[in-house]
Amino acid sequence: MFFKRPVMLAVFSVTLAMLITVAPRHAMAAGPVHKMHTANMGWWKKARFGMFIHWGLYSVPAGVWHGKRVPGYGEWIKNDGHIPNKQYNALAKKFDPVDFNANQWVKIAREAGMKYMVITSKHHEGFCMFNTKATNFNIVKDTPWHKDPLAMLSAACREQGLKFCTYYSIMDWHSRDQLPAHASATHPTYNPTHFAPGRKAAYLRYMERQIHELITQYHTHLIWFDGQWMHGWNKSCARELYRYIRSIDPTVILNSRIGFGYGDYATPEQHIPPMGIPGPWETCMTINTTWGYVSWNHDWKSSATLIHHLIHCASGGGNFLLNVGPTAKGIIPQPEVKRLLAIGKWLKVNGQAIYGSHRTPFAKKLPFGYATAKPGKLFLEVTRWPKSRTLVVPMRNAITKAYLLANDLPLQTATGLGGQLVYLPAAAPDPVASVIVLKIAGPVQPLKQ
């Protein structure tokens, strides 16, 4: 998907991506300080959990080209398989997602406990998954399906109470305005592209036209940029795009990958910062090891692992954007659905500890799991049930009430060595993660750990 090659990692590492976003002023001392937009971040900060969707022409080959598996991410097959434009463009005639059901996709996300959806409107391949007037290289005009999935998903999200959001790649392997890294009639390498001589302004106009469509026609609440490591994308480009978007709709949230200090939140990828990072952030992650659908990739993370990742993100004050890669027929693979519904089942019982929560008040990881907080409450997400049946919470605050969130079972507490003690039943009510609620007076006063 994103930071894929060593040259990119050297310039745009995940750490850098986290630092150039809504960082404190001192973190951007090297250049002008940009006033970051935060007016409409409220829903996003409360949401904590969203669905990422990677869907495009790459879903047709599904990781296989000329009968051979192409290693790597599914959506990178054009680059990694060194596929010429003419051959790759022909995939559009085979893209016929007759089994797509927008209401079903949104229902799956809602039942998983997700609060927003981010779908690829245009990935690096350049194929547009919406009815754009800027190019005919789109799902409505260039496929036998002739339908607009983004319009249907936007409507379904509105009906079912999810926030509809869109991904957009700055880098474009199809555009005549960008040239591949290594041009070849038979074996091209596209990443990273660079602007064609004299074509930069044309591409920026193309982007603005499509961004305008996404905001005004599809009512996207957030734009998730990517591909900003292409050569020629600079601070001026980022600034002008940022200002253009704000002029259309100042409530739209932007991620940090617009680049150069612009954006509203940081985007670590496939990695959760151990104790979170300053400011708003969101970890995006795959359920297996690819973003776009790959038919032969079955390396699935367990439901328990994904639940722990969600808790970990919330404990660090961040969101968890979990990806699905639908097939060319428009079906979210069943192994992904199964895991999403398992997360949703856990959230139905324990969501109070996740949604709208604040980051852990403790400076170090707790030996039994994680913590989140709300005014007057501390939630302990216990992933390792202690054999001693006692939790030591490193804080000064007296506990006025303690109970298991799953069944309201009251728990005994005491003040002891190392902080407040919470006495547990012999068995955990949930083998994956059990939540204990502590009612306290005032903000948590942590002890040194």
Domain match, 269 and 156 both: yes
Q: Give the total number of structural domains in the chain.
A: 2
What is the per-residue pLDDT for 1? 62
Calpha distance 231→181 (Å, rounded): 9
Domain for residue 359, yes or no?
Answer: no
Structural domain contains residue 79: yes
Answer yes or no: do 341 and 384 share one domain.
no
pLDDT grade for 449, boundaries at 50, 70 and 90: confident
Per-residue pLDDT tens over the stretch 344-358 = 999 999 999 999 999
- Which of 33, 120, 111 lies closest to 76 in space, CA to CA? 120
294 and 373 part of one domain: no
Pairwise pLDDT comparison (39 vs 185), residue with the higher score: 185
Go through 220-248 and write b for each residue having 16 or more CB atoms within 10 A of its CB, e for each that does not. Answer: bbbbbbbbbbbeebeeebbbebbeebeee
pLDDT mean across residues, the chain: 92
Q: Are 118 and 248 contained in the same domain? A: yes
Q: How far apart are CA 222 and CA 116, in angstroms?
A: 10
Last residue of a domain, one of 299, 320, 353: 353
Predicted local distance difference test score (pLDDT) of residue 103: 98
Q: Is 117 helix (H, G, I), strand (E, B) or coil?
A: strand
Distance between CA atoms of residues 16 and 10, nearest Å? 10
Q: Which domain holds residue 396?
A: 369-440
* Residue pLDDT, tens place only, 7-44: 333 333 333 333 333 332 222 222 332 445 555 899 99
Q: What is the pLDDT of residue 175?
A: 98
> The domain spanning residue 73 has which CATH number?
3.20.20.80
Is residue 122 in a domain? yes
Mean pLDDT of 147-166: 98
- Please report, rounded to a whole number, the percentage of residues in the chain having pLDDT higher than 70: 91
155 and 40 in one domain?
yes
381 lies in the same domain as 299: no
Let me know whether 344 and 416 are in one domain: no
Sign of the dihedral defined by the CA atoms of residues 68, 71, 77, 81, in that order = negative
Domain endpoint, select from 326, 353, 380: 353
Q: State the CATH number of the domain containing residue 397.
A: 2.60.40.1180
pTM of the model: 0.93
Over residues 334-347, the mean pLDDT reads 98
Higher pLDDT, 302 or 19: 302
| Final residue belonging to a domain, choices 353, 387, 422 | 353
The pLDDT tens digits for 381-409 are 999 999 999 999 999 999 999 999 999 99
* Statement to judge: residues 386 and 331 lie in one domain: no
Residues 347 and 377 in one domain: no
Kindly report which listed range (7-11, 257-261, 274-278, 431-435) carries the lowest average pLDDT score.
Answer: 7-11
Strands (E), 19-97: 49-53, 64-65, 68-69
**Is 447 domain-assigned?**
no
Predicted confidence at residue 40, as pLDDT, reads 80
Would you say residue 198 lies in a domain? Answer: yes
Residue 95 lies in a domain: yes
Looking at the fold, whether 257 and 393 belong to one and the same domain comes out as no
- Of 322, 269, 290, 337, the residue nearest 61 (C-alpha): 290
Strands 282-285 and 253-254: unpaired
Structural domain contains residue 287: yes
Query: Is 50 exceeded by the pLDDT of residue 202?
Result: yes
Q: Tell me, yes or no, whether 183 lies in a domain.
A: yes
Question: Which residues does residue 419 pair with via DSSP β-bridges, in sequence order?
Answer: 416
